[in-house]
Amino acid sequence: MARYDSIPVSTDKMPPGIPYIIGNEAAERFSFYGMRTILTIFMVNYLWLMGDSPIEKLTDTEATKRFHDFVSLVYLTPIFGALLADLFFGKYRIIIVLSIVYCLGHAALALMGIVGESSLWLIAGLWLISIGSGGIKPCVSAHVGDQFGTPNRHLLPKIFNWFYWSINLGAFLSTLLTPWLLEWYGPHLAFGVPGILMALATLVFWLGRWKFVHIPAKGWGFVRELFSAEGLKAITKLFSIYIFVAIFWALFDQTGSSWVLQAENMDRNWLGVEWLPSQIQALNPILILTFIPLFSYVIYPLIDKVFPLTPLRKISIGLFLTALSFALVSMAQQRIDSGLTPSISWQLFAYVALTAGEVMVSIVCLEFSYTQAPRAMKSVIMAIFLVSVSLGNLFTSTINHFIQVEDPIAKVESVGTEVNHGGFDGKTGTADDIKLTFSEEGKRTALEFAGKAEMDQLVSVIEKEIVASDYSALEESRGNDLVSAVNDPWGNPYEYTLINRNRMRVSSRGPDGEAKTPWDQSVVLQISKPDQSESSAFAKFFDHFRPETPWLEKRKAELGVETKEQANAAGPSISRNYSVGGLVKLEGASYFWFFTMVMLGAALLFVIVARLYRPKEYFHDEEIEAEAREEAIGN
């Protein structure tokens, strides 16, 4: 029976299996980034309409937390895929088997709303994708390096650049296509197309099986090497780098969450096209495709002439560029908080800085990690590198968890009755009671609390000024002038917060007298205006390839929810949404500035760590030769 090659071919040219790996990676990244690109927007704007009747919408903060929980899991599972590969099955088998699991995850997402509970399909799909995508990640990266020996090791930086180039080609195409599919054809097709690409990726990889070098699993020898002095030293040294890389990912992956939500409140007309919020992410992969050759052949050589660039120096510069990118989106958010509609160009410049940072942090660290890993630990080191991505997203998720103030009435349920919640003192029949009314279908129809009458009077005054100013939100200073003269039943002044050009909040500190606690009382005013925007000539070209009505609007009509067309026909309006608790401790520009300062602090500290680090490289054929020499001496 024919056997796979287990030692790299002695050649100074590119290994024969590389085209199959590159083709597989482009299709696989299309599938992953395609679903990832639309995940946050889907959870906020679509998930609540996927069942037989509407449910309560997720808040932006909760959707952001769930997004980063998912990404954190995707980059945590690589450690298990690497262990299975290096201990038992080898990289090739793990990649093939988990790719099938990956495909099943995409299928589960595509089935949401067709059969069963949508939220359960969402959870199942994300878990399967986390296992599949995460499990193959370290194996694919290490499998690339396995194809090289000493004669062609000089090509390793080039292939890792092309490997990253293929990732971003797939990401660019999917980031443009899947938001468009979601907008016009709905989540079934938007999640289904990436699943088809994942199946294609699996096929391409299988076709290259006889071209690859298959490094066999080391078995328990791997465990001995992992816990040897050399193995533990390599992991410890690299982990001192990965802590800082984790902070980079904590910021970078917010391009799929907080940056998308920010883009919804920006002027997205660019190059004559009104871009969808999720599509702005396409800037990153297209910039990567440009920056990889630009940095490799122009920027690095120029800098190297005056300042020798080691891998760690490149990473250090990249961390500072990442802080700069978040400073730019922080300044953009300050304009949104003041009621303006800043141009999407703020994010364009931020993407330039962030992508330059990615080239100098992610690509360089990926290559650096492979060279620093002992032979039996290549997959595990790749997995530990990916765990840094998981830790970064876990950090972001944790921040988004702790900044959410508990909503004490969120879990109260009933059918066709009135429920009296005890409020702050936990006793019913007292002044701080919260009364909730539910319909026969179990939907909350009314919310009453002490101070609501005073709040309504203030809101009525604010609404009159909004109408008088042609439905424009009041500036924060004017709003506070109106509300600060009135106190709630506990003697606390009311506060006015401008959220963006169409949303504002009136709130009080409630019976406990403290801000941002579960007992805050608030009402959010939402201004709705007829959509008068027109499609550009470029956008009209694509009108021939889509239905007349967006999927979401058709779904709203099916469920009896007000559509955009109905809202436009009704003219401008102001809606009220009352709540107790549920506010966010860190919102608007303060949120972005927090992460900016975290990144800046990490970048400054990394300069010290990089100066103390002492690299050591390992390659397969060199270690095999060293083992042979030791065995010969022993004999």
Q: What is the DSSP string of 101-147?
A: HHHHHHHHHHTTTTSS-HHHHHHHHHHHHHHHHHHHHHHHHHHHHHT
How far CA 70 is from CA of 254, 407, 487, in Å, comes to 13, 23, 43
Could you give the residue range(s) of every CATH 1.20.1250.20 domain in the chain? 18-404+589-634
Q: What is the DSSP string of 413-465?
A: --SSSEEEE-TTTT-TTSTT-EEEEE-TTS-EEEEEETTHHHHHHHHHHHHHH
What's the burial of 40, exposed, middle or buried (CB within 10 Å: 0-12/13-18/19+)? Answer: buried
pLDDT greater than 90 at residue 207: no
- Cβ contact 154:14 at 8 Å: no
Question: How many residues are present in the chain?
Answer: 635
Pairing between β-strand 434-438 and β-strand 503-508 as defined by DSSP bridges: unpaired
**CA–CA gap between residue 198 and residue 103 (Å, rounded):** 6
Summarised one tens digit per residue, pLDDT across range 110-141 is: 999 888 788 889 999 999 999 998 888 777 77
- Cβ contact 505:558 at 8 Å: no
pLDDT greater than 60 at residue 38: yes
State the pLDDT confidence band at 492, using cuts at 50, 70 and 90: confident
Give the dihedral sign, CA 410/414/420/421: negative
Looking at residue 534, what is its pLDDT? 52
pLDDT greater than 50 at residue 41: yes
**CA–CA gap between residue 500 and residue 485 (Å, rounded):** 23
Summarised one tens digit per residue, pLDDT across range 569-599 is: 878 999 999 999 989 999 999 999 999 999 9
Looking at residue 473, what is its pLDDT? 92
Q: Which of 416-420, 438-442, 499-503, 570-574 has the lowest mean pLDDT?
A: 438-442
- Please state the rounded mean pLDDT for residues 628-634: 49
Q: Give me the residue label for tokens 């109260």.
A: 412
Looking at residue 536, what is its pLDDT? 44
Q: Which of 348-352, 531-535, 627-631 has the lowest mean pLDDT?
A: 627-631
pLDDT greater than 90 at residue 158: no
- Cβ contact 94:383 at 8 Å: no
**CA–CA gap between residue 409 and residue 27 (Å, rounded):** 45
∠ at Cα 146 (142, 152), nearest 5°?
125
Tokens of 351: 């993407």
Summarised one tens digit per residue, pLDDT across range 70-107 is: 999 998 988 888 788 878 888 888 888 999 999 999 99
At a CB cut-off of 8 Å and minimum separation 6, what does 526 contact? 502, 503, 574, 575, 576, 577
- Please state the rounded mean pLDDT for residues 66-73: 94
- Cβ contact 147:229 at 8 Å: no
Looking at residue 391, what is its pLDDT? 94
State the pLDDT confidence band at 386, using cuts at 50, 70 and 90: confident
∠ at Cα 439 (434, 444), nearest 5°?
40
Cα atoms found within 13 Å of the Cα of residue 494, Cβ hemisphere only: 29
State the pLDDT confidence band at 604, using cuts at 50, 70 and 90: very high
The CB density around residue 220, as the number of other CB atoms within 10 Å, is 10
- Cβ contact 157:106 at 8 Å: no
How far CA 431 is from CA of 406, 425, 523, in Å, comes to 21, 9, 19
**CA–CA gap between residue 423 and residue 338 (Å, rounded):** 33
Looking at residue 495, what is its pLDDT? 94
Looking at residue 114, what is its pLDDT? 86
Looking at residue 621, what is its pLDDT? 47
Q: Which one, of 96, 25, 614, 87, lies nearest residue 380 by Cα?
A: 87
Across 140-149, 173-182, 429-438, 585-594, the highest mean pLDDT is recorded for 585-594
At a CB cut-off of 8 Å and minimum separation 6, what does 290 contact? none
Q: Which one, of 140, 134, 136, lies nearest residue 70 by Cα?
A: 134
Residues of the chain with pLDDT > 70: what percent?
90
Tokens of 14: 């590119």
pLDDT greater than 80 at residue 150: no
Residues of the chain with pLDDT > 90: what percent?
47
pLDDT greater than 50 at residue 537: no
pLDDT greater than 50 at residue 277: yes
pLDDT greater than 70 at residue 631: no
- Please state the rounded mean pLDDT for residues 527-539: 62
**CA–CA gap between residue 146 and residue 230 (Å, rounded):** 20
State the pLDDT confidence band at 5, using cuts at 50, 70 and 90: low
pLDDT higher for 148 or 366?
366
Looking at residue 437, what is its pLDDT? 93
∠ at Cα 532 (528, 538), nearest 5°?
130
Looking at residue 223, what is its pLDDT? 73
Summarised one tens digit per residue, pLDDT across range 608-620 is: 999 998 877 765 4
Q: Which one, of 628, 615, 632, 617, lies nearest residue 150 by Cα?
A: 617
Summarised one tens digit per residue, pLDDT across range 295-344 is: 988 999 999 999 899 999 999 999 999 999 999 999 999 999 999 999 99
Helices (H) and strands (E) in the chain, counts: 23, 9
In words, the CATH class of domain 18-404+589-634 is mainly alpha
